[in-house]
Structure 1
Amino acid sequence: MGSTRAEQALSRADWLVNGIGLLVGTLVLQPLLLDVARGLPFARGNTRRLTILAGVVVVTGTIAPLLPVAAADLVLARTGLDENPVLSSSASLSPVPWLVGALVLVLAVAFRAGEQLMDPEAPPA
């Protein structure tokens, strides 16, 4: 009995989600790094970029590991083995993406303070 296309897609979808997260993170981070290289780390928009990056890290790091588990659940349900507690799949959420996202948000707050020091007319956060 072969696996279904949904099972195959879900079992590999973590790579796709990680790749999309890496692409979005790269596109968001590139202008910030260029500003830092120009000596303008607190240029407008960098706080927003860091906030988006934090969201990408959390979403990617949370969703990607759940997809192969969903594929395993489908396989167990299709084969009738989902009632056996020994063979049950278990999804565990890692706190690492949330911690990294929180650290990036702290960095965003620091950048926001730097923006306000550079431009005193900027509205407060």
Structure 2
Amino acid sequence: MEYADNKTMQFGIHYMLDGYKADKDALADKAGLINILETLPGKVGMHTISTPVVVEVGPNNKKDPGGISGFVLVAESHISFHTFPGRGFVTINSYTCNYTIDSDKITQYFTDFFKIKESDVKVIKRGTKYPVENIQ
């Protein structure tokens, strides 16, 4: 998306989803979480450049009772999540250096998998003054 001055453009999109009252079993499904990271990038026009990493994490403190964390690197940047099965909560991030992303499709994908009952979704434009050409 080039701007009127023709010298700058938007660099990317940062997608964030916080899912509440999610299904405990889905949040703890390590194989399912790996599958998400293997399949979602292709469904939304991203290109996987690494093997997904999904790790069970024990409790850290009273606020963090443990869960599963995962990420995958994509040519456009990354997709990551942290699940908290005991709290029915998942937090998800995806950054892309494309200036468009089908946030509704991503939201639906995660809502269906985790059976999320409530969510907060934010989509933020990043790098809004990114130079169209090299400046140095």
Tell me the TM-score normalized by structure 1. Answer: 0.28
Q: Which has the higher helix share?
A: 1
Of structures 1 and 2, the one scoring higher in RCO (CA 8 A, sep 6+) is 2
